[in-house]
């Protein structure tokens, strides 16, 4: 299905397939499998071998990389991560996305914007995707702590990586990959100067984490606290559109 155009009028074909395993995770799955087989076949320790084999399957599942159908409307900002919307608030963008960095390209303007935080549990897909298409202007890694990624202060204190994308019309969107309690590695797939399509894979965070996205001024999210998002598919916001959206948990 990769590269196929689908629409809401019935064009295209879709069917369920086993998701691919991202190359970044294959080595971890194979190492876990080899250790479990050693306990099972060499030592004969079933009480350890079988749980380890189950854990190996979990490692492969963690690094699954399913295809996604990315909305192509120019105004659509898509979710950068699978997970639970845990925070929506007005904040100043991170300084690393604002200040002059010597590249000759301006960062995000100062002023309050809406930040949407998406928490990824160990059961979510951990491949992150770009919310808009354009040119990667910044990739800024910052070492830090490994607190619970659901906490508000994780945005400022945890290990994190900021990415800034500039569209062809000059609009800039920033988002941040944040390591959590279990995550110990943020892996980028892009670098400054790269051209990316909307919904393209741009990195992953190993074993539980969070992604913050900073919406442009004058844009409200189309998701609510408690909703789940699908990276590259869920329309997080439409540029320039505002308005209250309410939901009821049931």
- Residue 25: closest CA among 67, 61, 54: 61
Cβ 118 vs Cβ 81: under 8 Å:
yes
Give the integer Cα–Cα distance in Å for 112 and 93: 7
Residue 26 tokens, joined? 């294959």
**Apex 204 CA angle, 202 and 206, nearest 5:** 170
Give the integer Cα–Cα distance in Å for 150 and 127: 18
List of residues 6+ apart from 95 with CB closer than 8 A: none
- Specify the pairing of strand 83-91 against strand 201-205: unpaired
Is residue 209 annotated as part of the catalytic site, yes or no?
Answer: yes
- Residue 132: closest CA among 213, 240, 191: 213
Query: What b/e string do you get for 176-192 counting C-beta neighbours within 10 Å, with b at 16 or more?
Result: bbbbbbebeebbbbbee
Q: Which residues are catalytic?
A: 209
């Amino acid at each position: 299905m990769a590269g196929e155009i689908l629409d809401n009028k019935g064009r295209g074909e879709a069917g369920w397939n086993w998701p691919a395993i991202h190359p970044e995770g294959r080595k971890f799955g194979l190492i876990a499998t080899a250790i479990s087989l050693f306990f099972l076949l060499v030592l004969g320790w079933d009480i350890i071998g079988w749980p380890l084999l189950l854990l190996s399957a979990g490692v492969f599942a963690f690094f699954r990389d399913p295809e996604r159908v990315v909305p192509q409307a120019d105004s659509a900002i898509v979710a950068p991560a699978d997970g639970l919307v845990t925070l929506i608030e007005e904040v100043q963008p991170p300084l690393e996305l604002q200040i002059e960095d010597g590249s000759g390209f301006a960062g995000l303007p100062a002023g309050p914007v809406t930040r949407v935080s998406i928490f990824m549990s160990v059961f979510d897909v951990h491949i992150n995707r770009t919310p808009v298409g354009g040119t990667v202007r910044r990739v800024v890694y910052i070492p830090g702590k490994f607190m619970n990624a659901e906490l508000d202060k994780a945005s400022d204190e945890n290990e994190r990586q900021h990415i800034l994308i500039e569209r062809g019309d000059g609009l800039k969107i920033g988002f941040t990959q944040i390591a959590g309690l279990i995550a110990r590695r943020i892996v980028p797939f892009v670098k400054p100067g790269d051209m990316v399509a909307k919904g393209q894979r741009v990195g992953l965070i190993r074993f539980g984490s969070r992604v913050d996205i900073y919406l442009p001024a004058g844009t409200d999210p189309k998701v609510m606290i408690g909703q789940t998002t699908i990276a590259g598919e869920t329309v997080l916001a439409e540029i320039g559109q505002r308005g209250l959206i309410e939901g009821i948990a049931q």
